[in-house]
A and B are shown apart, each in its own frame.
Chain A
Amino acid sequence: MINYIIRRILWAIPVLLIISLVTFGLLHVIPGGPFDEEKPLPAEIIANLDAYYGLDDPLWKQYTDYLWNALHGDFGPSYSSRSRTVNDIISDHFPVSAQLGALALIIAMIVGVPLGTVSALKQNSFLDYSCMFFALLGVSVPAMTLGPVLIWFFALKLRILPVARWGTLQQAILPAFTLGIGRAALLARLTRASMLQVIREDYIRTARSKGVSERNVTIHHALKNALIPVVTVIGPMFAALVTGSLIVEQIFAIPGCGKYFVTSITNRDYPVVLGIMLLYAFLIIMANLIVDLTYAWIDPRIKYN
């Protein structure tokens, strides 16, 4: 097992390297540079700026310099936020995105799993159909629409929740809900499908015939096994929530990483783009690894060597 883990971690290195190379290449292929302004700077000043940031070196040297610094933990300066480095930006803003992602995940699980379970147990009933209808809504309504609607209803009309920003628990409710509800829908459908399959298994019938209470059958025997496929998606789902929170962060004015990620692309802030890209890639790789390990831990039939 240890060998497996070490192998997976070693595989992460070439993956990250390729991602950095492709990102670097793409950034330099797209037109426009970091210092293009509406009031264009004279050529000499742009030359000054390029020299200051080493952008006048040949591309291969810029890339290798970047890698060398990155290996030493220095991910470079930001071209647009002159007083901050990429390390500053990630350490200040990534925790916020991670908190938002974690809360969204919790909401997704708290809403999605019970909804799916109940639907499976009362299959084809009115309850089942309504739950699945809500699941469909959750998956179809994008954050771009849901966010402002929730703000309008809870913050403007009812005035029981704050409009935006981050810091208190009340401020976290609407954005976490907006971000998490789509995934809740996904988890509901997945739980329902998995549960439907499990409760038809022989061992469930055996447990019932042995006199185990319905509640115990559901939770202790069925749900535990039905959650295996669900657990496998939670890892990548967390990674996706953290990396995909841009729209929610923008709507609710949350100082997270997602906003930086997209503005850095429009600003052609190369080190910030690379830094966040590598961070997200690393996150997804780790999330997948943890999920695979969890899978092996839950299901004794699975062995890695």
Chain B
Amino acid sequence: MKKNILTLILSLSLIVGFSLVALTAPVTLQFNINTEPPTLDPALTTDTTSLLVVGQIFLGLTNYDSKTGEIIPELAKSWSVSDDGLKWTFQLRNDVVWTDGTPVTAHDVVYSMIRMLNPKTAASSANLLWVVRGAEPYNTGQGLVEDVGIKAVGDYTVEFTLEHPVGFFSALASRVCVTVPKQAIEKYGAKWIEPENIVTDGPFKLSEWKHQDYLVLAKNPDYYNASHVSIDKIYCPMVVEASTAMAMYEVGKLDCLRDIPLEDLDRVKNDPILSKELHVTKRWGTYFYGFNAKKPPFDNPLVRKAFASAIDRKSLIEYVLKGGQGPAQTFISPGIPGYIDGVKEGIGYPYDPEMARKYLAEAGYPNGKDFPKVTLMFNTSEAHRNIAQAIQQMWKDVLGVEVNIINQEWKVYLDTLQQNTPQIFRLGWMASYPDGYDYLKRNFYSTVLENYVGYKSPGFDSSVDELERETNPTKRMEAFLKAEALLCDTDCAIVPIYYYTMQELAKPYVVRDFTPTINDVPQFKDWEITK
């Protein structure tokens, strides 16, 4: 009798114990981040891995809702702009704390922005803040920190005074204005980002980091909206080899997979289980070929138009890329403010072999006769090579011209683009923040470094200046239309080819959406695991 009661009690406690464990077992997501993040300091991040982790553990002033296309509050609960467009005032939440318990205040924001502009920090994205008064001189070592127009008014209000009106400053703030902890940086110096030292304020915190191996993000219970976050732990291995990551996904060691190896795509699409787990996510980036208008024969706009019209984007996407990409006739990606639908507005050069041949004939090379041999360059990669070979063939078939294709290792390629821009070269652009100004200014404004095509159009420059300062959305769109029309149509300085997409595999128990995000940073705080 005693023995039976004992057994009963033991079994009951085991059952209760296991149920409790099941109830309290942490909800874990296994997500591959591919490589070791070079840094987790928001001022120094440029690569997508670092940005992914930073995006989970730090807060920006604002954020971007891709579904509504609106800038939404984050650290700042509201903001306003003065009538002359020069002063932006952000009211901060007063319930945000660092993981060490201290409150996040306006002084932290000012400290972070000044630190980013400090030339000694050598922050990579500091130039995005040059719209602030006094920022550029201070950042380039020619001005005083006292003259920088960023001030705290009390503990929870920050004022930015700009050089000139900037209509999209709140969009800029979502990416650039990330607050960092002064107390940790001053105490630990460069090592402040190590897991034992780091202090953060975002929905997740860094709980473990074994370099080159994996890192673990844990839910931050002090996050101001912690009740909304349902994932407790994110385990992030760093597996660089795509086929290995694919195998790990198939045995259940990864819950999501972003880089599906091209050779596995057909198998995945035909597999009854995997095909249901495949999703195509649009990305805010554009793949394009640029023409060096300083090198003949591309100094002739007719030649550029001929080459642009001979590219069959649909076939390229269907047979070479196979990723559900969108064909592109304009430069800014769909979903980013400033996007112009090239087909609807009649801007850009769709595939038209007849017109292509006509342009080339008008340029003086009927059927490609006497056309000099030209070079197309790209940075070494299987994908770029496949695209280049396909397009090389299209140019030969439609226009009768010979194009030589050459590839170079990435850093050598960047150097070549700057020192000796090839006649045709491949590049891509990913949005740095949710506004098309970034696309146009950073690549094709006459005075910027990255303007490898050597585009010098006063009309384009003035449209870009206008859409930078204009706050009226209708007038802004008119300026975007004008700029894209000049860039992709009238002057045909580049030929946009496709808008990036990402093919992702996700286990059915991962409840998430597949909308694009800036720099592809997943919004883990909105995901759920139903296991």
Contacts and interface: CB of A to CB of B under 8 A. Distances in A.
Interface string A223-259: 0000000000000000000000000001111011001
Contacts, number: 135
Given A40-B414, A148-B243, A250-B241, A48 B449 contact: no
A266 B414 CA distance: 12
A192 to B, nearest CB: 35
Contact of A151 (B190, B238, B247): B247
A253 B244 contact: yes
A250 B414 contact: no
Consensus secondary structure, chain A interface: loop
Given A48-B120, A92-B211, A255-B211, A156 B250 contact: yes
A193 B211 CA distance: 45
Contacts of B240: 250, 253, 259
A101 B474 CA distance: 64
B84 to A, nearest CB: 28
Nearest to A43: B449
B239 A81 contact: no
Interface in B255-304: none
Interface stretch (B11-19, B34-42, B103-111, B460-468): B34-42
A202 interface: no
B414 A38 contact: yes
Interface residues of A, number: 50
Interface string B191-228: 11110000000000000001111100000000000000
B75 interface: no
Interface stretch (A2-10, A29-37, A109-117, A126-134): A29-37
A40 B442 CA distance: 9
Interface residues of B, number: 54
A165 B243 CA distance: 14
A173 to B, nearest CB: 15
B26 interface: no
A150 to B, nearest CB: 11
A253 B241 contact: yes
B140 A159 contact: no
Interface of B: 35-36, 38-41, 44, 46, 119-124, 126-127, 139-141, 190-194, 210-214, 237-241, 243-244, 247-248, 250-251, 253, 409-412, 414-416, 418, 428, 432, 442, 449-450
Given A36-B411, A45-B127, A151-B244, 12 more contacts: A32-B412, A40-B450, A44-B140, A49-B122, A81-B211, A82-B41, A148-B243, A151-B243, A163-B247, A164-B247, A251-B241, A255-B210
12 contacts: A33-B411, A36-B415, A38-B414, A44-B140, A45-B124, A48-B122, A80-B38, A81-B39, A81-B211, A250-B240, A251-B243, A268-B411
